[in-house]
Each structure stands twice: as structure tokens, then as C-alpha cells.
């Protein structure tokens, strides 16, 4: 379980393509400072299991084909910057919202509208998860806990949502500088899915 508060910008330093998976080596001195085999680290919002912790503040993780297909991790290459977060501790503050690290789908950055102190970013919203997203609700974008500031639909792009990025988010995460057209991992608030399931069986 995570909170969607990015702790560190990491970097992919190696990628090994396997038959039905890939092994990534990611540099992240902060998140590996107390990590061990079997620990969970979110990489761009995807919960990965640490295989090995290496000298120099790096760790390796195996990513199966399904995860590569359902997230943007398959597009990562050596040199790619990634958002990193360690699993939440029970004695820590919940700074964002409850995040599982289970990607529900991917969206694409449609537009970026800067202002003096913040930037509004519009992201396309896949049809199958649009029903779980509400204005002023929480959504996780590449592992970042954000508040939905607006929802809408356009003929060309379909459903979309908007979030407003403060300077800290722009400076300390990959989402802050990602170009229009970049795919991003999306995880909706799990509570919405539980409510739907309970209502359907009620």
C-alpha cells in the first residue's frame, strides 16, 4: 500500500528483455536505503517487488508481460526518469490517499496550460474507468496522488480529466515535465470500485 507521495526521482539504468517479462534495474538511493529482497517499491505508480538491492543505490525488479501491456512500464528505456515511492509504514502520516500500485489503465497527456503558480494538465480517460473518477476526487497518475479539478469529454479525445500541478509536483516528479502525448499510468480510488461491487450484489 502506498500514499501517492513521490519520494524520489529515480532512473532506469538497465533493462533486460526476457521471454515473457522484463527485468529493470532502477537507481534510487533514498528508496533503497532501507530496502531488502521482497520489499515493495512503486515505480511510476506500479507496485514492484525488489529482487536485489545493488551497490550504488539501485534495485532490480521483474515485470511480467501483463504489467508491461497494461501500464506504461513497457515504454521505459535506459535513462528514463521514474517516480519512486516506498510502501507506506503504519506509523506514518497518510499524505495522499490509499494507493495500491495496481494500474487500472493508461491515459495520454492531452494538453498543458501553465499559469504563474500552477499548471493545469488534461489527461485522456479510458472508457472502462471513467465512471470511477469524480470531480474533487482522488486519482493516481504515474504514482502521484492528485485531486481531479475538472471532468469533461471531447469528440476527438473522448473522456478526460484535469489536475492542477503545484510547483513542487512540477519540479519533483516526471509528470511535471512530461510532454503532450506521453502515456501515463492511472489508478482510480479503490473505494469507488468496492462501492460498485457492493451495490451490484445488494
Report the b/e string of 102-141 with b at 16+ CB within 10 A. ebbbbbbbbebeeeeebbebbbbbeeebbebbeeebbbbb
Task: State pLDDT tens for residues 142-178.
Answer: 999 999 999 999 887 789 999 999 999 999 999 999 9
Q: How is the chain classified by DSSP, letter by letter?
A: -B-S---EEEEEEEEEE-SSEEEEEEE-TTTTTT--TT-EEEETTEEEEEEEEETTTEEEEEEEHHHHHHSSGGG--TT-EEEEEEPPPTTS---S--B-S---EEEEEEEEEE-SS-EEEEEE--HHHHTT--TT-EEEETTEEEEEEEEEEETTTEEEEEEEE-HHHHHHSGGGTPPTT-EEEEEE-HHHHHHHHHHHH-
- For the chain, the structural domain boundaries read 8-86, 105-201
Residues 91-113: pLDDT tens digits?
777 777 888 899 999 999 999 99
| pTM for this predicted structure | 0.91
In angstroms, the Cα distances linking 102 to 91, 106, 141, 142 are 23, 12, 12, 11
Q: Do domains 8-86 and 105-201 have the same CATH topology?
A: yes
pLDDT at 46 over 80: yes
Each residue of 63-98: pLDDT tens digit? 999 999 999 999 999 999 999 999 988 777 777 788
The topology (CATH level 3) of 8-86 is Elongation Factor Tu (Ef-tu); domain 3 (2.40.30)
Considering the domain 105-201 in this protein, what is its CATH number?
2.40.30.20
**Residues in contact with 136: Cβ distance below 8 Å, sequence separation at least 6, in sequence order:** 147, 148, 149
Q: From CA 46, how far away is CA 77, in angstroms rounded?
A: 16
Residue 201 has pLDDT above 90, yes or no: no
End-to-end CA distance of the chain: 28
Amino acid at each position: 500500500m502506498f500514499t501517492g507521495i513521490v519520494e524520489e526521482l529515480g532512473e532506469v539504468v538497465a533493462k533486460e528483455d526476457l521471454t515473457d517479462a522484463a527485468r529493470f534495474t532502477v537507481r534510487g538511493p533514498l528508496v533503497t536505503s532501507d530496502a531488502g529482497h521482497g520489499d515493495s517499491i512503486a515505480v511510476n505508480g506500479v507496485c514492484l517487488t525488489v529482487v536485489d538491492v545493488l551497490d550504488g543505490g539501485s534495485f532490480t525488479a521483474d515485470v511480467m508481460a501483463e504489467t508491461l501491456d497494461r501500464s506504461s512500464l513497457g515504454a521505459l528505456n535506459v535513462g528514463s526518469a521514474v517516480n519512486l515511492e516506498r510502501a507506506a509504514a503504519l506509523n506514518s502520516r497518510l499524505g495522499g490517499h490509499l494507493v495500491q500500485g495496481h494500474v487500472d489503465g493508461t491515459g495520454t497527456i492531452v494538453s498543458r496550460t501553465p499559469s504563474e503558480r500552477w499548471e493545469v494538465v488534461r489527461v485522456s480517460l479510458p472508457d472502462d474507468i471513467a465512471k470511477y473518477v469524480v470531480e474533487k476526487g482522488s486519482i493516481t497518475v504515474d504514482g502521484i496522488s492528485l485531486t481531479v479539478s475538472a471532468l469533461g469529454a471531447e469528440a476527438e479525445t473522448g473522456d478526460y480529466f484535469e489536475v492542477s500541478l503545484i510547483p513542487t509536483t512540477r519540479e519533483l516528479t516526471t509528470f511535471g515535465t512530461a510532454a503532450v502525448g506521453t502515456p501515463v499510468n492511472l489508478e482510480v480510488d479503490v473505494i469507488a470500485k468496492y462501492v460498485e461491487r457492493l451495490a451490484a450484489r445488494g
